[in-house]
Chain A
């Protein structure tokens, strides 16, 4: 639209033509912009639809993950109930065996000769051992299913505390123990405490023959990886059996040499593996053993 300007007067036709051309170009430009905008709008619409689809897919995946998690929790609860029930049902006849063997000893002692008393002692020892096995198996099975509660752990302090507790059960033993200062680790404190309990109990047990045992807890860096260790100077083991050490019920000694259920190291292995770490052992017959494990840095 040509606006008549007071200061300007429409004069020659050339002027008009120019104005018209400018107008047409402007109109074309506007139409182009409108077309571009339309295209943009279509593209935006498509993007929006695509985004909605992605959100839907994500939601579907989330629901699936949630269902899988719920299923796993249900299975875990079932397994827990099962092993709990099994352990209780196994303990009942064990109580009876122990209890009545004890009753025979108490009430019929005068009528029993030494052999008789020895047999009854064996019955009770084995019942006790079976009770221990049930406890260990229950612990072992629970380990695979428990949630890890991670905190920063001062392993040196923990090791000293555990050692003091365990050694108190063997009064009269002379043991030189050193818990060196070690870097903090990240882990489930109760489980790591179990690891140290098992390793230190073993160290104390297998150094029985030494007049004064030497046991050490520390940290070492090997091949760029830091590892904690429990070392002892006890009976050690033959390295050719090193792969058997961490299996369930695997023992390298007979019951008469050393008592034990053969689950302790399997428990250690399971706990450390669940923390994403490694466990290994080195030993030499009659020179001692060292058990190493890695944990995430605290």
Chain B
């Protein structure tokens, strides 16, 4: 069991939302590589195109995306052998979002509401049944706090 770094892939078309999410992670000293994709087409290319890698990742997926919408990206991810085990957390503007229910039908693992709070994200991700690890870099003098359970 190595300390494999997990990439955080944020699929979000609103640049402010994306920036604020990345900021939450940085403020909590997470050192994972963060990738931001701005629409569904970029997402499909990232997961299935020439850039696709086996690098472990967790995906934060906004459902309202231009070009290819979030639900379609989700369907593609969950129906392909290569990507179906990638944990996906849906990004939603409100808990009442009926898109969340649709997303669960397609096998999304969890959701967080925007603006995201680190604790909610950590708890959403810690519910995932897949082995993963989010890395923290400790602030001087502090001992590193695991961002979520290790399996």
Least CB distance, B84 to chain A, in whole angstroms? 29
Give the interface centre of A99, A100, A103, A106 by most chain B CB atoms within 10 Å: A99
Taking a contact as CB atoms closer than 8 A, the residue among B20, B64, B93, B94 that contacts A99 in the complex is B20
**A88: chain B residues within 8 A (beta carbon):** 64, 93-94
B23 close to chain A: CB less than 8 A = yes
B55 close to chain A: CB less than 8 A = no
Taking a contact as CB atoms closer than 8 A, the residue among B27, B64, B115 that contacts A95 in the complex is B115
Is A99's CB under 8 angstroms from B115's CB? yes
Q: Which of B33-89 contact A (CB under 8 A)?
A: 64
**A190: chain B residues within 8 A (beta carbon):** none
Least CB distance, B51 to chain A, in whole angstroms? 28
Is B115's CB under 8 angstroms from A98's CB? yes
Taking a contact as CB atoms closer than 8 A, the residue among B17, B23, B27 that contacts A92 in the complex is B17
**A95: chain B residues within 8 A (beta carbon):** 16-17, 20, 93, 114-115
Interface residues contributed by chain A, number (CB under 8 Å)? 11
Is A92's CB under 8 angstroms from B93's CB? yes
Least CB distance, A31 to chain B, in whole angstroms? 78
Interface residues on B, range: 10 to 19
Interface of B is mostly: loop
Alpha-carbon separation in the docked complex, A106 to B27 (Å): 10
How does the 8 Å CB contact mask read for B2-29 relative to A, with 1 for contact and 0 for none? 0000000000001011001001000100
A33 close to chain B: CB less than 8 A = no
Is A100's CB under 8 angstroms from B20's CB? yes
Is B93's CB under 8 angstroms from A91's CB? yes
Please name the residue on chain B nearest to A97 by beta carbon.
Answer: B16
Least CB distance, A161 to chain B, in whole angstroms? 22
Is A96's CB under 8 angstroms from B93's CB? no
Please name the residue on chain B nearest to A90 by beta carbon.
Answer: B93
Least CB distance, B26 to chain A, in whole angstroms? 11
Please name the residue on chain A nearest to B23 by beta carbon.
Answer: A103
Least CB distance, B55 to chain A, in whole angstroms? 29
Give the interface centre of A91, A95, A106 by most chain B CB atoms within 10 Å: A95
**A96: chain B residues within 8 A (beta carbon):** 14, 16-17, 20
Alpha-carbon separation in the docked complex, A106 to B28 (Å): 13
Least CB distance, A14 to chain B, in whole angstroms? 101
Alpha-carbon separation in the docked complex, A270 to B93 (Å): 27
How does the 8 Å CB contact mask read for A96-117 relative to B, with 1 for contact and 0 for none? 1011100100100000000000
**A100: chain B residues within 8 A (beta carbon):** 16, 20
Please name the residue on chain A nearest to B97 by beta carbon.
Answer: A88
Alpha-carbon separation in the docked complex, A91 to B96 (Å): 14
Is B20's CB under 8 angstroms from A92's CB? no
Q: Which of A67-108 contact B (CB under 8 A)?
A: 88, 91-93, 95-96, 98-100, 103, 106
> Other CB < 8 Å A-B pairs besides A91-B93, A92-B16, A92-B17, 20 of them?
A88-B64, A88-B93, A91-B94, A92-B14, A93-B16, A95-B16, A95-B17, A95-B20, A95-B93, A95-B114, A95-B115, A96-B14, A96-B20, A99-B23, A99-B115, A100-B16, A100-B20, A103-B20, A103-B23, A106-B27
Q: A residues bordering B, Cβ < 8 Å? A: 88, 91-93, 95-96, 98-100, 103, 106
Q: B residues bordering A, Cβ < 8 Å? A: 14, 16-17, 20, 23, 27, 64, 93-94, 114-115
21 residue pairs from A and B, CB less than 8 Å apart: A88-B64, A88-B93, A88-B94, A91-B94, A92-B17, A93-B16, A95-B16, A95-B93, A95-B114, A95-B115, A96-B17, A96-B20, A98-B115, A99-B16, A99-B20, A99-B23, A99-B115, A100-B20, A103-B20, A103-B23, A106-B27
The 10 A-B pairs with the shortest beta carbon distances in the complex, nearest first, are A96-B16, A99-B20, A88-B93, A95-B115, A91-B93, A92-B14, A99-B115, A95-B114, A95-B17, A103-B23
